[in-house]
Every structure is written in C-alpha cells, then in structure tokens.
Structure 1
C-alpha cells in the first residue's frame, strides 16, 4: 500500500484513486508477466482537521519506510517518495520505456512494420511522453512561505526518525537496508497482519473539533441512508447531503452545496 496526503479541490478523489490504483499495476504486470491487482480494493480515507495534524501526517507519510524498519532515514529509501521534492517545484517525469510500452516500441522499430505503415499505430497511447509532477503545500500557515512550511515538515521528519531510531536501539533491532529491501520478492507478504483494527475517518488535535467531526460524520451517514432509500424508491428529486459522490456522478442526483471551509 502507499500513503498519500492531498487536497481534493474538485471532488474527484475516487476517480483519482481509481486511476492511480489501475495504471501502475498494469505496467508492473506487463513488466513481470503477471495479472491481477497490486492494491487491495478500496482505500482508507482520513480527513485532517487542523494544520498541526496536516504537518504531522506529512512527516508520518515521509517516514513510513523508516517506521517499517527498511531504512534508517527517509532519504535512503529508493522507492517512490517526495522526500527530496520542494513545494511548488515541478519535477519532470518521463513515460517508462518498459512494461506496457516496451513491446510496442520494438514492434514500431521493425522494418516490416514500417513498410506496411503499421508502425504508426504501434505506440498509440493517451499518455504523454513526459509530465510534470508538482507537490503543493498543505493549505495551512498562510503567513509562511512554501520553503518555510517544507522546512517545518522536514524538522518533524527528522524528529520522527530520531524517535524511531531510539526505539529500535531499545529493542536491539537494526534496519533491513535499501539494498536488501530491493531484493525482497514482490510476491512476498507479511507473515502477520493486523486484523479488525480501528479504521479512522478523521484526525485532529483539538478534542472539540474531533467531537464536532464525529457528529458531522454521523449526521452525513444518516442523511445519506435516508436519501438513498428514497432514491431507490423512485423519488428522483431527493437531495443528498454535501459530500455525496456516487449518486451524483453515476445518476446525476441532486446534492446540497458544501459550506466554504
């Protein structure tokens, strides 16, 4: 699984996660000669209630390989991570030349394909040859610059790395290391997995904010169930609560307008 901290400005998170969970597995399956999904169905969504928690989640996400005992510092992790990126600074990403695209490129290079003009259709794809990836700062601390907010996240990351290292020393454990971690077979699974654990839907520091959000979630679910029941009974002008996605996108159902943050 992966950890991602983001802001859903246009209300398209389900579509975004669908594409994110679909294209990389297809590319990896083509590269490895496998089939099936790489990510479990569904995803855990936690709403962050405060700027303090947003910074905490940002550091937590970057420190995930460290907490897993794979590397001692987040920057040592060779996998996909934004630890070396800066807010607002684009990074150019090239379309892979392997997996889904390797066979097509080879087919296009064949002389027979070029003579028959099939080569022009061999590499058809809607994906651009390159794209720019930009990470944006969390919508917190408006008086600080992007660099200052990023520095706060990095300080929290280093503090978390030190805390994890201290706990590791206390238990007499060592990290696996990036080289050994990269050699772990991609089909291997953990020997033990936590089951029936709490699945939070929001995260906050202030107790009053958590209580208010818990009440809001309860009210949303109650209103959603009532509207869904009426919609299935044939009442097509029923109004769903703000935040409804499936009925709005699939059936063009009416929804309340969300209040400004």
Structure 2
C-alpha cells in the first residue's frame, strides 16, 4: 500500500511524468507542442493550478506548479489523460502511453528548492546532451525571464478535441506566474537566481560533454527523431522517490519536513483504522484528499479539503 500524501492548498511542486519504456512519443514537433500547451492551459485553469516552469522532453515532461485549491490529483488526472489521448491520435499509438506508476510529485518547501528545481526543469535538454543552451530546445518550454510576465498560447488541436464541445475553447493561454511565496518586489532577484543556477547546469553539461568527447545532438536532429524509437542510453535505477525538497544545506528545514510528513502519515493511519472499524465520525488530518473526496470523511476539525 502506498504512503498517504497530504494535499495542501497553496503548496508548490515539481511534477515529472515519463513515457512508456522511454519511447520518443513527445518528440518536440509543432503538433505535440500545441497539444501540451493547450491541454496544460485548459487543465490548469479548471483546477486552480499556477504554472511556473515547463519543459517537455521526448521521453518525459517536467512542471513546477502551485496547487492553489488543493486539486492537484484532479489536475494530474485530467492533464495526463488529455495528453495521452491526444498523443495516441497524433502518433497512431495503441496501448498505454505513460510509464506504469503515478507521476513524481515533489513538494518544494523553500525558496532555494524553488530556484534549484525550476533551473533543473529548464536545463533538462542541456543536461540530457541535446542542446548546448536551454533556449535552443524546440519543444514546449518556458524561460526564466518569463516568470511573472510571460504566457504561452495554443489553438485547439484538430486531433481529438471536438470543436462543438464548449469545454474546449478555440484558443487557450497559459500564464507563467511567479510562485505565490515570491513577492513581486523580489521578482527580479528570483529570476536572476534561477538564471544563475541554470547557467551553472549548462556549464556543467558542456564540461561533461567535452570531457567525455561527445557532441550535443542538436535541435534539428531532436525534432526529426522517430517518435517510435526508444532511448538506448543507460538510465540508473531510481532507488529513491522523494516527496519533498528543501534545497542544499537546509538541514533544519529538512528535519521539519520529515517530521511533518511522518506526523501526517501516523494521524492518517490512525483515522483510517477508525474508519475501517466503522467509526464514520473519524477525523482525518489536514491535507487528506482521497477519503474526503470519495468517501465524505471529515478533515481536521471539520475543515474540509475542497472537492
């Protein structure tokens, strides 16, 4: 049984979802880019999700978002479903598109964690050896200078979406917002910190390429790769599945995050056992989502998570 996760309105996350067996189904052509931006914009607006960073690679995608209404599971369900259905039509793909298991969801609890993970997201095409600079990547992405002022736009894809259905507007816009924890007056400093960290990632990737004597693939070749091929590079097994990040050197914040997570899990398990024993008045800890939404359980002194 998986560990319960607290869904807290206002929390900011790094989200990652991977394609089945590392197929290049999300190859960065214009049709996939349009599909991703459109479905993300529609899903984010519907579920109160603020988008801060985006990078779509051929085999996976990264997002940094804030869940303003405590609706992250609903957002992930809709966004990933729409991407999968649209991709299956565009690629004439049968069977599942996403790798087994749930998306990776990492709660970003400090400013340093935000800077590191946004820069990490933007730097992905460089650290993967595809392009030398993040801005060269031809797929769906955001830039550091767009935080708090930029937006992505996409028309409704012709594939899958019924133009007669009012839930699919002709065009959708996706604002690239600052995380709510970052004050507007501090926005320039925040963007500069991300740019600096991004440049560090890029320099490290170029140094690694030079040391190992390999060339970057280049945007043109990445654009032309067959979506039915698979990545053949060796990918280390993921022994850890982190649920939060505090940034380097934040020892006390890490201890606090671990303690908070353990306290939630213990309280949740106790309440769940009471529920299984037939006590329908059992009160679940703040952040409980599934039990409230699907079973009507009471959450923390009667404060209910929005459904």
What TM-score do the two structures reach when normalised by structure 2?
A: 0.71
Match of 1:203 in 2: 245
Q: Paired residue for 2:169?
A: 128
Q: 1:169 aligns with which of 198, 210, 218?
A: 210
One of 274, 291, 295 as aligned partner of 1:251 = 295
Match of 1:89 in 2: 150
1:195-247 CA distance string (max 9 Å, x none): 35111111113101101111111121111112112212211111111111110
**Structure 2: where are the runs of 5+ without partners?**
1-59
The answer as to 2:83 corresponding to 1:24 is yes
Equivalent pair of 1:67/1:164 in contact (CA under 8 Å): yes
What is the CA–CA distance in structure 2 between the aligned matches of 1:193 and 1:159, rounded to whole Å?
23
- Conservation of the 8 A alpha-carbon contact between 1:137 and 1:149: no
> Residue 218 of structure 1 corresponds to which residue in structure 2?
262
When the two chains are superposed, the root-mean-square deviation of aligned CA atoms in Å is: 2.1
Structure 1, unpaired ranges of 5+: 105-121
More strand by share: 2
* In structure 2, distance between residues paired with 1:144 and 1:44: 32
Q: List per-residue Cα deviations over 1:128-164 (Å, max 9, x = no partner).
A: 0011110111234426353443233223212221121
Structure number with higher helix proportion: 1
Cα deviations across residues 76-124 of structure 1 (Å, max 9, x unaligned)?
Answer: 1111101273423333321123x225xx7xxxxxxxxxxxxxxxxx843
Question: TM-score under structure 1 normalisation?
Answer: 0.83
Most deviating of 134-143 and 235-244: 134-143
